[in-house]
A = this chain, B = another copy of it.
């Protein structure tokens, strides 16, 4: 392998790129690793592909290699340039979520909850949750990650300045979810609906807590990444797992 990139904006590495994580990986692989930030992946990916057409290049991602559209796009570009792609699969929140005890085949469509702003409060995830709940399915909610977002100020001035990274907490997600359902007459779910909050899934210090939205609204889950499941109908074995993780 001549070059190793790691993509660092659609997720975060649990042991921290900014701290010792990267050097740990570099020691393990015996290679230096180049961090591919949003700018590089979105604007300079053709340079990486040109390298890959002449030598072996690894492109590491956190989670599943096809978890983000941007990675599928990379594969398409490679195929068009007749650059051979070999994929090594990995665990992802899409299946590691099984840790909370709800069966993977009982989930409906996954939804993404974006940070609401003063002027942008999209409610489109509501309909998907409602459909899942109508047929008793669980809903995995992926919470917004904002890394390397150009600041509005910098956009106006035409030079690149970035907002500090922002990761949505379970608390903010529930706050937004409740705002949306109230606007709809709370027909799909309400503050008494059962949820499971998961923080740092797969890490040594992961936390899994089940309870009503109201219960979890102010629960401190600690550092990112967080995700949330809105629970559908429970099978007995799922019910037992929910009990183990019940909020104290």
Interface residues of A (CB under 8 A from B): 64-67, 69, 72-73, 75-76, 79, 87, 89-92, 94-96, 98-99, 101, 103-112, 131, 135, 137, 142, 202, 237, 240-241, 244
From B69, B95, B131, B240, A64 is in contact (CB under 8 Å) with: B95
Jot down 12 A-B pairs with beta carbons below 8 A, ordered by A.
A64-B98, A64-B104, A66-B104, A75-B101, A76-B101, A76-B237, A89-B91, A89-B99, A90-B91, A95-B95, A109-B135, A109-B137
Query: How distant is A246 from chain B, measured CB to nearest CB, in Å?
Result: 13
Q: If the complex has contacts A73-B237, A76-B240, A237-B76, are A104 and B108 also in contact, measured as CB distance less than 8 A? A: no
Alpha-carbon separation in the docked complex, A112 to B75 (Å): 29
Residues of chain B within 8 A (CB-CB) of A73 are 237
Give the copy number: 2
**6 nearest CB pairs, A to B:** A66-B98, A89-B91, A89-B96, A92-B95, A105-B110, A94-B95
Query: Nearest residue in B to A104 (C-beta to C-beta)?
Result: B94
Alpha-carbon separation in the docked complex, A98 to B65 (Å): 8
Judging by beta carbons under 8 Å apart, are B72 and A101 in contact? yes
Beyond A76-B101, A108-B108, A108-B109, 9 additional contacts (C-beta under 8 Å) are: A65-B98, A67-B95, A69-B103, A75-B241, A76-B241, A89-B91, A89-B202, A104-B110, A131-B135
The winner among A89, A131, A142 for most chain B CB atoms within 10 A is: A89
Alpha-carbon separation in the docked complex, A230 to B6 (Å): 33
Residues of chain B within 8 A (CB-CB) of A96 are 64, 89
Residues of chain B within 8 A (CB-CB) of A109 are 105-108, 135, 137
Alpha-carbon separation in the docked complex, A76 to B87 (Å): 34
Judging by beta carbons under 8 Å apart, are B99 and A66 in contact? yes
Residues of chain B within 8 A (CB-CB) of A65 are 98
Alpha-carbon separation in the docked complex, A1 to B107 (Å): 34
Query: How distant is A24 from chain B, measured CB to nearest CB, in Å?
Result: 17
From B66, B67, B98, B101, A67 is in contact (CB under 8 Å) with: B98
Alpha-carbon separation in the docked complex, A69 to B236 (Å): 11
Alpha-carbon separation in the docked complex, A110 to B110 (Å): 12
